Amino acid sequence: MKGNTRTRTAIAGAVSAITILALAACGGGDTGAGGDSGSSGGSSGDTIRVGFSQLGAESGWRTANTESVKASLTKDAGFDLTFVDAQQKQENQIKALRDFVAQDVDVIAFSPVIETGWDEVLQEIKDSGIPVVLVDRTVDTTVDDPYVTWIGADFKQEGTTAGEWVKENAPDAKIFELQGTLGSGAQVDREAGFGEVVGDQIIGKASGNFTRAEGKTAVEAALQAYPDMTMIFTHNDDMGLGAIEAIEAAGKVPGKDIQIVSVDGVRDGLQALVDKKFNYVVECNPVFGDQLADLIKKVADGEDVPKETIVIDKAFDQTITQADVDARAY
């Protein structure tokens, strides 16, 4: 489904100029830095050729998101998907985006690993006339109208929701904040939302880079640096699970001696909630591949789309049941 550059540029311009009519209310590849394609040949008929750069496979959330995207952008659904796992390296994503331009795909979609550093490649994509759909995370760029639409979580609201629970349930907590990848949209916005509510209770911060191993390491250091901490706010479940290991190794009881408030809502995180090792989890729903597919079809067809689509989130406390966890799709 290949239109000429002039047509695609006009489509992108028209979509970016529309008034946003509505917002809904959310934020692991297997190919290394290379890619895999949903079909072996080029586009034909009404098939939409999509280049998707996933930032990596740093967490259970990311793996579930990747699976949802791949399950929705299939050949049977009318897509020719080229998927590239950037392994959490911006240089890999930039290379993938340039490769998509060289391949002259119909639509480029990507989840940026951090917010900044995209100006040059986004300008190149804009000059090519290929529309861009941002997924999960956002960008901070000087390029005018760099993308047609974005779909993902309201990261700041997730931080706010977590902070409101803390304010109501643990107003005297001394909090260590376990940050995600520094400079990523999820880290920046979750930190901002949480800090606006209970910033005066935060005694220290460090990044665990959204991984279980680095989360454990960060908390091991924090236990030494902040022996009076009584709570951890972690920007994702995987780091929180690493925190549990560090807390138990120090002879303390997670969920009791040190409470844990997390964001994501993957199965392992909710299991920790059932096991009383987490105290509260704000969901960030990763399963929106069907919504992404619908947006990409509309963008490729030149239809109007909202500038933002925010995926609905929930929140869970320790009243969650084992049956709830067992029924979880991710």
> Where is 135: in which H helix or E strand?
strand 132-135
Contacts of 61 (CB under 8 A, 6+ apart): 236, 237, 238, 264, 266, 284, 286, 330
Nearest-Å Rg of the Cα atoms of the chain is: 20
Evaluate if residue 44 carries a pLDDT over 50: no
pLDDT digits (tens, 9 = 90+) for 265-289: 999 999 999 999 999 999 999 999 9
For 24, 147, 283, the CA distances from 21, given in Å and listed in that order, are 10, 17, 25
Domain annotation for the chain: domains and CATH numbers: 5-153+285-312 (3.40.50.2300), 155-283 (3.40.50.2300)
pLDDT band, residue 36 (cuts 50/70/90): low
Give the pLDDT of residue 7: 36
* Residue 285 structure tokens: 């729903």
Give the pLDDT of residue 151: 98
Share the mean pLDDT of the chain: 89
- More confident position, 266 or 44: 266
With left for phi above 0 and alpha for psi between -120 and 50, is residue 139 left, alpha or beta?
beta
Separation between Cα atoms, residue 200 and residue 202, nearest integer Å: 6
Separation between Cα atoms, residue 39 and residue 183, nearest integer Å: 35
Identify the burial level of 104 via C-beta atoms within 10 angstroms of its C-beta, where 0-12 means exposed, 13-18 middle and 19 or more buried: middle
For 156, 208, 249, the CA distances from 272, given in Å and listed in that order, are 24, 18, 16
Separation between Cα atoms, residue 302 and residue 11, nearest integer Å: 5
Separation between Cα atoms, residue 5 and residue 3, nearest integer Å: 7
> Where is 209: in which H helix or E strand?
none
pLDDT digits (tens, 9 = 90+) for 163-187: 999 999 999 999 999 999 999 999 9
Evaluate if residue 322 carries a pLDDT over 60: yes
DSSP string of 9-31?
HHHHHHHHTSPP---------SS
Share of the chain above pLDDT 90, in %: 83
Evaluate if residue 6 carries a pLDDT over 60: no
Query: Has this prediction a pTM greater than 0.85?
Result: no
